Every structure is written in C-alpha cells, then in structure tokens.
Structure 1
Amino acid sequence: MSATQEGSLAGKVAIVSGSNAGIGAAIIAELNSRGAYTVINYPFPHFRDEAEKLISSLKAPAIAVEADLSTVSGPQKLVDATVAKWGKIDILVNSAGLAVNKPFEEQTLDDWDLVVNLNGRGTFLLTQAALKHLTKGGSRIVNIVSISSRGPPPGQTIYAGSKGMVDSFTRCWAKELPPKYGCTVNAVSPGPTKTAGFADAGEEQMKILQPTIDQTPAGARMGEPSEIAYAVAFLCEERARWVNGEHMVVCGGLFVD
C-alpha cells in the first residue's frame, strides 16, 4: 500500500455485509488497512470464530455482528449495532450474496426464495436502513453485483436475475439518493474469483466455466479477492467523489460492456 493510501479512510465507519469470508472479508481487510472502522457481518453463530479471527488480523478498530440479511429483520439489526458502536455510517458495501447453479428446469421456488431474499431483498433493506445514518456530503454505497448480471453462463437463471436486480438498483439509486443524502452509489462486478464460495459451485459448473476463464485477456486465471477489494476501496476514497453510477467490472477483460 502506498503512503497516500495508508490512513486515507481513517475514522470512516464501513459496513461490509457478508464479510466473514471471501470477497467480503477481503474488502474488510482493504478498507481497514486504510484506517476505516469496519463492521464484519456474518449470518449464523457458527461463523463467529471466522469473524473473530478476521478481527484479530486487523489494525484499525472492528466489530463483528451476527445478522442474517436474508431475513426481514437482519439488515436493521446490522445497522443498529453499527450505529450503537460508532454513531454513523460512512461506507456501505452490499456484499452478502449466494448462488444456486442448476439447469433452469431444476430450479425451484425454494431456490428463488433463498437467492432473491438475500441478494435482492437484503440489499434493498440494508440500504434503506442505513440511509438516515449516512454522513452527508461524503458517504459511499457500493453494491457488489456480478459479471453474471450482464453476461451470465448457463445454470444461473435466479442468481443472474438477482444480481441484475442489484445492477438496476445501482442505476436508480445513483440518480435518486445523492441529492438527498450526499452519497455516491456505484457497483463492482467481479468475474470468476478464487473464493471458497466459488469452489462450492461444484465440479460440473467449473467444467462449464473453465473454457471461459481460460480466455480471460489479462490472464488465464480467476481473480483474487484482494483485486476486487481494491476496486471497492477506490470508490470509497475521497478523490472518487465524482464517480457516481459507475458499474466497474473487475474480471481481467473477460466481459467488456
């Protein structure tokens, strides 16, 4: 990290949903390394140790909050815990999400509820709950979308649709929210990224995706979570204050809009 980045977010309060592991954890580490007070969110009690281990690796203050964002009450719980601790929110990163990878004919209403309630409704409710606590004039909302929102592979009907919803949220909020709340609203769309969650997609899904990964212009590999986190952190910096409504695709050029 350069000297100009170190401490550049000092004293900023950042919520990153779904951040006990994977891309969310990498975003926590990046923002915290720049001085942000970070809120690690995990959904269930058995992830607490993972969240606490992440806290132990950080330098700036951090807390861990159990809140299941797929429920109606979880988003408010996360915001309430943050405000009780620090009294404000400067950065909100909507990172919590999951995927179901199945042929379209096999996808069910249970799959729909599982994916859409977290990826879509969770983002909707968490952002609503955070709005009145945003620091006016310098706050940031960053939605983690996905390359699948605009270039989905087979088997991701519900997941791609839910991320398309968040893609559209970003476009709408970037026009509607800054005049009221003094924030910016942007999206970061990762391509295939080396996380445990991606590995859980299964061998069959990887067989489908591997030829695509091999064609990535910047390198025949998956992305690293830290590379996604760096893009998010850029959007949270003071000097990114004129970047609003941007959809930053971080995938090595695999998808070019």
Structure 2
Amino acid sequence: MQKLDGKVGLVTGGSRGIGAAIATRLAADGADIAITYNTAKDRADDVLAAVAVAGGRGVAIQANAADHAAISAAVTETVERLGRLDILVNNAGLFISGEIGEATVDHYDELMAVHARAVFSATRAAVEHLPDGGRIVSIGSSLADRVPAPGYSLYAMSKSALIGFTKGVARDLGPRGITVNLVQPGSIDTEMNPADGDHADGERAVTALGHYGTAEDIAATVAHLVGDSGRYITGATVTVDGGVTA
C-alpha cells in the first residue's frame, strides 16, 4: 500500500516545472491528482500521462491563477471529478524582475494576484472540502528570506506574504488536524530558471552547495509534508535552497 492511497490532491500550476514534479511524485505515492494550467494544455496532458503511468487518475483544469473565480472553481471541479480533496498544493507562479525604479503598478498587481491572492482563493475554497487531517502546502521562494542581488523587490514581496498567511491559516485549521506549510525553493533547474541560464553562475555562487537543485527535490519535500510523516509539522517554512540563506 502506498502512503497516499485513496487521497486526492490538487496542484495549481501543475503543467510544468516544480508543479509537474509535485503532481507526478504525489501520484507515484498513490494519490489521484488534479492540476491547473493556464495556456499550456499540451504540457498538462503530458503530466496527466505521467500520472497515469504512476497509477493514478489525473484531471487537468484550465484556470488562470490570477482569476479568483477560476481558481476557486478549480477546487470545486476537482471534488466533482475525483470525488474528494485531501491535499492542496498552491504552486502557480510567475516571474517578473526589475529594480524598483523600473517596477510598475501592473507588475505589482500581477505578482500579488498570482502569488498571494490565488493562494488565498484556493485555500478558502478548499477549506470547505478538506477532511480533518487534510494538507495544504504553498510554494514560496527563498527570496522571501534573503535577496542576494538587485531586481527582485516585488517578487520577494509577493512571496513574503505567504509566510504570514501560512502561520495564520495553520492556527485557523489546527483544531481540525489540517496542516498548513510553506516550502521555499532556491535555485531550481526549471524552464523559468535554467541551470545553464544567463544568471546561473551568480546563483550557484551564493549557494552553500554550489549547484542548482531539481524540481524533484521540491517534490520530495512536499511529499513528506503531505504524507503521514508530516502530521506534526504545521505553520512551518521549509527552505530548500542549497544553503543560499545559510
């Protein structure tokens, strides 16, 4: 018996990168998985194929994470199509950089809508369906704790909001045994931040381990938190960054 047999998880932004790795790992651990995607339906279909190979049922739901109604509806659709919801992983994200003199209100609104409001929207909708003992994990960034270079002020701001939200919701849902945690990746080799990209050498230079992590490293941490072994961890921030914040 796998540790997540009988469970259903929803991973927002699950069509690529870290989200895809999380969806595939949770399916390998026995869960049925719904993912949301914005425009990359072909990539979402690839993830569903990987979920099927792992032995799980998979559902892909088109939803723009910046749209409160769409992301809330995705939670409801997950329950309707897969029968329940035990695990919510708030992963959807985008990247906008630039020093403060270049930042605009539109940049602020985009980042906060996806990184903060979408997490609220999905979590608020999920609370009505999660059973006692359910799991919520959000994906933040180590930039919330340390900004080692210029150009990340708004991005860091939007991810920092998740620290307080995670602690508050952990208190709200603790009496129901629902754990709420935050995973903060550092430099992870994905399309958004490739290990052979223009800024990769600089990022490696500020890590203690001297190299990028993989999406599977983040997925393994999420799997621990949503499994039985994570039952006494809540309100926590788990930083997986190769020692950037050491």
Q: State the TM bucket, normalised to the shorter chain.
A: over 0.9
Instruction: Identify which range, 55-64 or 14-23, moves more after superposition.
Output: 55-64
User: What is the deviation of 1:244?
Assistant: 1.1
Q: 2:220, 2:139 → 1: CA distance?
A: 13
3-state SS of 1:196 partner: coil
Q: 1:199, 1:243 → 2: CA distance?
A: 31
Q: 1:116, 1:223 → 2: CA distance?
A: 26
**Structure 2: runs of 5 or more not aligned:** none
Cα deviations across residues 148-206 of structure 1 (Å, max 9, x unaligned)? 11112321111100100011111111112221x43001111000110101249x73xx1
User: What is the deviation of 1:212?
Assistant: 4.1
3-state SS of 2:60 partner: strand
Aligned to 1:3: none
Aligned to 2:231: 241
Q: Is 1:223–2:218 an aligned residue pair?
A: no
Q: 1:199, 1:240 → 2: CA distance?
A: 30
Q: Is 1:146–2:141 an aligned residue pair?
A: yes
Aligned to 1:100: 96
Q: 1:26, 1:154 → 2: CA distance?
A: 29
Q: 2:213, 2:57 → 1: CA distance?
A: 28
Q: 1:217, 1:76 → 2: CA distance?
A: 39
Residue 159 of structure 1: which of 155, 169, 178 is its match? 155
Aligned to 1:57: 50
User: What is the deviation of 1:57?
Assistant: 1.8
Aligned to 2:84: 88
State the identity %: 34
Rate the CA distance shift 1:109–1:233 in 2: closer, same or farther, 3 A: same
Cα deviations across residues 49-86 of structure 1 (Å, max 9, x unaligned)? 11111111222111111111101211112111101112
User: What is the deviation of 1:87?
Assistant: 2.9
Aligned to 1:14: 9
Aligned to 2:241: 251
Scaled by the length of structure 1, the TM-score of the pair is 0.89
Q: 2:217, 2:203 → 1: CA distance?
A: 19
The one-letter code of the counterpart of 2:160 is G
The one-letter code of the counterpart of 1:92 is L
Q: 1:115, 1:215 → 2: CA distance?
A: 25
How many residue pairs match? The answer is: 241
Aligned to 1:214: 205
Preserved contact between residue 99 and residue 156 of structure 1 (Cα < 8 Å):
no
Give the alignment's Cα RMSD to 1 decimal.
1.6
Aligned to 2:29: 34
3-state SS of 2:68 partner: coil
Scaled by the length of structure 2, the TM-score of the pair is 0.93
Aligned to 2:41: 48
